[in-house]
Amino acid sequence: GAKSDGRACWRLCVPNLSEQADLAARLRTDLREALERGEFVVHYQPQVALSTGHIAGVEALLRWNRPGVGLLRPGDFLQGANEAGLTDAIDRWVLQQACQDAADWHAMGLPRVRLGINLSPRILGSGQALDLVTETLAITGLEPTLLELELTEGDLVEDFEAAGEMLGSLRQLGVAIAIDDFGMGYSSLNYVKSFPVDRLKIDQSFVRDLETEGQDAAIVHAIIALGHSLGLSIVAEGVETVGQLSLLMNDGCDEIQGYYFSEPLPRGELEDILRREQVLAGPMPVEPL
- Assess 125 for contact with ligand C2E (CB under 6 A): no
Which range binds ligand C2E by CB under 6 A, 2-10, 21-29, 188-196, 256-264? 256-264
Residues with Cβ within 8 Å of residue 217, at least 6 apart in sequence: 210, 211, 247
Q: Is 118 in the site for ligand C2E (CB under 6 A)?
A: yes
Distance CA 104, CA 174 (A): 19
d(CA 272, CA 11): 41
Beta bridge partners of 189: none
Report the residue number, 12 or 36, with the smaller CB distance to ligand C2E: 36
Is residue 155 part of the contact set for Mg ion (CB under 5 A)?
A: no
Cβ atoms within 10 Å, residue 102: 25
**CB nearer to Mg ion: pick between 150 and 254:** 150
Rounded CA-CA distance 88/52 in Å is 37
Q: Is 55 in the site for ligand C2E (CB under 6 A)?
A: no
Shortest distance (Å) from residue 52 CB to ligand C2E: 20
- What's the CA gap between 109 and 142, in Å, rounded? 13
- Binding partner of 258, given Mg ion, ligand C2E, none, CB within 5-8 angstroms per partner class: ligand C2E
Closer residue to ligand C2E in complex, CB, 82/134: 82
Contact 166, 127 (CB under 8 A): yes
| Residue numbers 162-181 binding Mg ion by CB under 5 A | 180-181
Stretch 91-130: interaction string toward Mg ion, x if CB under 5 A: ---------------------------x------------
Residue count, binding to Mg ion (CB under 5 A): 5
Q: Is 200 in the site for ligand C2E (CB under 6 A)?
A: no
Minimum Å gap between C-beta 18 and ligand C2E is 29
Cα 102 from chain centre? 15
**E strands in the chain:** 40-49, 55-66, 70-72, 114-119, 147-152, 176-182, 199-202, 233-237, 255-257, 265-266
Name which of ligand C2E, Mg ion, none residue 19 binds, using a CB cut-off of 5 to 8 Å depending on partner kind.
Answer: none
Is residue 238 within the footprint of ligand C2E (CB under 6 A)? yes
What Å distances lie between residue 52 and 3, 59, 136, CA to CA?
Answer: 49, 19, 31
Residue 62 contact among Mg ion, ligand C2E, none, beta carbon within 5 to 8 Å by kind: ligand C2E
Residue 221: CB minimum distance to Mg ion, A: 19
For the chain, what is the radius of gyration of the CA atoms? Answer: 20
CA 71 → CA 40, 77, 80, 145, distances in Å?
9, 11, 16, 31
Alpha-carbon distance 94 to 91, whole Å?
5
Shortest Å distance, C-beta 174 to ligand C2E:
21
Binding to ligand C2E (CB under 6 A): which residues in 142-171?
150, 152
Q: Which residues bind ligand C2E (CB under 6 A)?
A: 45, 61-62, 73-75, 91, 94, 118, 120, 150, 152, 180-181, 204, 237-240, 258-259, 264
